[in-house]
Amino acid sequence: MGALRFPPLPTTVETQAGARRPLETTTMPGLLERYRDYLPLTDQTPMLSLHEGSTPLIPAPKLSKRLGVELHLKYEGLNPTGSFKDRGMVMAVAKAVEDGADTIICASTGNTSAAAAAYAARAGLKCIVLIPDGNIALGKLAQALAYGARIVAINGNFDAALRLVRQISDEHPIALVNSVNPYRLQGQKTGAFETVDVLGDAPDVLAIPVGNAGNISAYWMGFGEYHEAGRSTHLPKMWGFQAEGAAPLVRGVVVDEPQTIATAIRIGNPASAHLARAAVGESGGLFDLVSDDEIMHAYRLIAQEGVFCEPASAAPVAGLLKRHAAGELEGGQRVVAVLTGNGLKDPDAALRSVEAPRGIEAEMDAVMASLR
């Protein structure tokens, strides 16, 4: 892995006022500012920002060696609320403000609710979150509550919650920010822009978890727009990975009771299925599935690179490992895996696979003995 082809590091920046100063005297702007020329903004769109985006693309030398490719991890867990959802939500909430809304609503079991609540708080809007009764990761509910969202638990599943929020936004002056909101994908496509910007070109393969299928669709849109703008010489193959118990796009049938440890992709009937199929088809990519065991194995290998992600984020790495084991991963390629959320979103996953340490005597020999 001496061949990581990062572009030369920048040293100075030019300000809007025309002055020059060292790069370290700046901070990255939020996404609406950074990619304003590529987003559907108007003069009336507020420049809402929590400094989302500009997440690191972290080289993964140990996994690269194992896989025989040049693997980079796009670590979306360092977005303001800890997941890639912030990219789409900053755009959706900015447009809600532009349209005069004073309340937003969504159905969510996790990352979406945290992002919606954070940007609503920032913009001074009220936020209503409908959750299916039960089945929500602790950390994610904590966030929406902390940001001041009104949480309503309904007696029903996610589909019922989504039907309700659509009905409510149709009949009340309340903006819907679920993924049916078209601005969400517009914001999410910036992940592809950043990938190309940092690598200097598109990767050969973009590996990504697929749940509701919006993100793979958004990345494909972003790669396409950047390519058209002359910012990359080629388009990547889009590889979408689903969990074995929640793999409607792999199996070609809706899954009524999706099951997986990777809660962020536990979705049986993806809203953006058609767009995701187009992304995979047009790019010459693929869908594949990975088991929960394979996901948790990849999760631990990613942590050995120094990166802590939520289980769903490990699915693309699990998929790459699976295809490598099957002799179906071409060596030497540049591959980017999108790690969609922070491991702190779901600490139970990390604790599940280990025994709690037992207390031993506070004495050096006892400690050293316990380490043998």
214 annotated as ligand-binding:
yes
211 annotated as ligand-binding:
yes
User: Between 253 and 351, whose beta carbon lies closer to its own copies?
Assistant: 351
Buried residues in 349-364 as b, exposed as e (16+ CB within 10 A): bbeeeeeeeeeeeeee
x/- track of binding to its own copies for residues 198-227 (CB under 8 A)? x-x---------------------------
Least Å from the CB of residue 368 to its own copies: 7
Q: Which one of residues 230, 257, 327, 362 is an interface residue with its own copies (CB under 8 A)? A: 362
Question: How many residues belong to the site for its own copies (CB under 8 A)?
Answer: 102
Name residue 281's amino acid: G
Whether the Cβ atoms of residue 150 and residue 174 lie closer than 8 Å to each other: no
Task: Based on the shown chain and the rule CB under 8 A, indicate whether residue 56 belongs to the binding site for its own copies.
Answer: yes
Q: Which one of residues 1, 23, 229, 253 is an interface residue with its own copies (CB under 8 A)? A: 23
Stretch (H or E) spanning 349: helix 347-352
Q: Tell me which residue has tokens 């299916």.
A: 132
User: Between 9 and 326, whose beta carbon lies closer to its own copies?
Assistant: 9
Task: Based on the shown chain and the rule CB under 8 A, indicate whether residue 254 belongs to the binding site for its own copies.
Answer: no
Task: Based on the shown chain and the rule CB under 8 A, indicate whether residue 318 belongs to the binding site for its own copies.
Answer: no
Query: Within its chain, how far is the Cα of 130 from the centroid?
Result: 21
User: Between 293 and 348, whose beta carbon lies closer to its own copies?
Assistant: 348
Task: Based on the shown chain and the rule CB under 8 A, indicate whether residue 228 belongs to the binding site for its own copies.
Answer: no
Q: Which one of residues 65, 99, 135, 142 is an interface residue with its own copies (CB under 8 A)? A: 142
The residue range among 138-146, 251-259, 283-291, 326-334 that interacts with its own copies, by the rule CB under 8 A, is: 138-146
Least Å from the CB of residue 167 to its own copies: 5
Q: Which one of residues 99, 133, 256, 282 is an interface residue with its own copies (CB under 8 A)? A: 133
* DSSP assignment string, 62-125: HHHHHHTSEEEEEEGGGSTTSBTHHHHHHHHHHHHHHTT-SEEEEE-SSHHHHHHHHHHHHHT-
* DSSP assignment string, 288-346: EEE-HHHHHHHHHHHHTTT--B-HHHHHHHHHHHHHHHTT-S-TT-EEEEEE-BBGGG-
Stretch (H or E) spanning 191: helix 190-199
Q: Which one of residues 4, 46, 153, 224 is an interface residue with its own copies (CB under 8 A)? A: 153
x/- track of binding to its own copies for residues 61-80 (CB under 8 A)? --------------x--x-x
Task: Based on the shown chain and the rule CB under 8 A, indicate whether residue 4 belongs to the binding site for its own copies.
Answer: no
Q: How many CB atoms lie within 10 A of CB 27?
A: 7
Least Å from the CB of residue 257 to its own copies: 18
User: In the chain, what's the furthest Cα-to-Cα distance?
Assistant: 70
Write out the binding residues for its own copies, residues 331-350 only, by CB under 8 A: 342-345, 347-350
212 annotated as ligand-binding:
yes
Write out the binding residues for its own copies, residues 181-200 only, by CB under 8 A: 193-194, 197-198, 200
Name residue 294's amino acid: E
x/- track of binding to its own copies for residues 80-119 (CB under 8 A)? xxx-----------------------------------xx
Name residue 302's amino acid: I
Task: Based on the shown chain and the rule CB under 8 A, indicate whether residue 326 belongs to the binding site for its own copies.
Answer: no
135 annotated as ligand-binding:
no
Name residue 61's amino acid: P
Q: Which one of residues 32, 71, 94, 128 is an interface residue with its own copies (CB under 8 A)? A: 128
The 3-state DSSP class for residue 284 equals coil
Provide Rg for the chain, Cα atoms: 21
Residues contacting residue 341 through CB under 8 Å, at least 6 positions apart: 76, 77, 82, 83, 84, 111, 264, 309, 310, 312, 313
User: Between 5 and 358, whose beta carbon lies closer to its own copies?
Assistant: 358
Residues belonging to the binding site for pyridoxal 5'-phosphate are 111, 211-215, 340
